[in-house]
Homo-oligomer: A and B are copies of this chain.
Amino acid sequence: MAIPKNSFVLIDYTIRVKETGELVDTTIEEVAKNENRYEAEKIYEPLLVIVGENRVVRGLEEHIENFGEVGKEFSIDIPPEKAYGERDPSKVKIMGMREFLRNNIIPEVGKTVEIGGQIGIVKAITGGRVLVDFNHPLAGKTLSTTYRIIKIIEDDVEKIKMLLHRRYRRIPIERFNVSIDQTKNEVVIELPREIYLDRDLQLVKALVVEEIYRYIGKYNSIVFIERYTRAVEQPKQEKIEVKEQTQQQAEQLQVQQSSSASQ
């Protein structure tokens, strides 16, 4: 059963390296826990895949598009060319020890290093020479993938909430108050207070607007609403995913703006 482009699909998945069975990624907390790969920082919940968006490995997205079916568990092998690509031997480089020291890195075998903007893994060290593999760690691997479509989202309000939630995954989806004004053909989004002081918020809005027009279309305008009520006059400290220094920045800004007046 094909699933058309621009569909909003929620999936659970588990990806392993086929050869070794090693867990690469999973949306299922239990799987991560059972294999001692649980990360407290991570949010375990179904992932939003917008068919055609190209955010997940190509082999997975293509399978969803061509064979996807709600509720059915699929187990597929994704070859390197539809995942992280083939290994490129020319990306394994011999580098001088001096280049590492210049970057304040002490190379050790197995260590992940960043040199000249590229990330690589130290494979061997002999005398003053360091062998570094700049291939993606999953290049050349076939990925053994299990996935299940939890739901295909049909409702525009729910789609928009998902677009917002995937930008702020720590904010529960129901905290985004989305409605459609049918007469104006307008989307109205009331944002939760916890994100008001996020320095990226304005960029996120622009990106979400772009996504709504691209994947949902049809509306004339999108309105964002932020409400400051008097009772909670001072921004609360319960900010989520907001940089720590925000309050400090606010104070600095205050000072800067004061000093730009005549005093």
Interface residues, chain A, CB within 8 Å of chain B? 13, 15, 25, 47, 55-57, 60, 166-167, 196-207, 209-210, 213, 219-230, 233-235, 246, 249-250, 253-254, 257-258, 261-263
Q: Name the CB-closest residue of B to A261.
A: B55
Q: Name the CB-closest residue of B to A196.
A: B202
Q: Name the CB-closest residue of B to A187.
A: B228
**15 chain-A/chain-B pairs, Cβ below 8 angstroms:** A55-B261, A167-B257, A197-B203, A200-B253, A201-B202, A203-B246, A203-B249, A206-B250, A209-B233, A210-B234, A213-B233, A220-B230, A222-B227, A224-B225, A225-B225
Q: Which of B60, B225, B254 is A223 in contact with, Cβ under 8 Å? A: B225
Q: Which 4 A-B pairs have the closest CB atoms?
A: A221-B229, A209-B228, A224-B226, A222-B228
A207 and B250 in contact, given A223-B227, A229-B220, A233-B213 (Cβ under 8 angstroms): yes
A221 to chain B: closest CB distance in Å? 4
Query: A224 contacts which chain B residues (CB < 8 A)?
Result: 225-228
Interface centre among A55, A197, A228 (most CB of B within 10 A): A228
Query: A25 contacts which chain B residues (CB < 8 A)?
Result: 262
Query: A199 contacts which chain B residues (CB < 8 A)?
Result: 199, 202
In the docked arrangement, what's the CA distance between A209 and B227, Å? 10
B47 touches A262 (CB 8 A): yes
In the docked arrangement, what's the CA distance between A254 and B246, Å? 22
In the docked arrangement, what's the CA distance between A200 and B213, Å? 26
A202 and B213 in contact, given A222-B227, A225-B223, A230-B220 (Cβ under 8 angstroms): no
> Other CB < 8 Å A-B pairs besides A25-B262, A205-B228, A213-B233, 14 of them?
A55-B258, A55-B262, A56-B261, A56-B262, A56-B263, A166-B257, A167-B257, A196-B206, A200-B253, A206-B228, A210-B234, A219-B230, A221-B229, A225-B225
Q: Which of B206, B220, B253, B258 is A197 in contact with, Cβ under 8 Å? A: B206
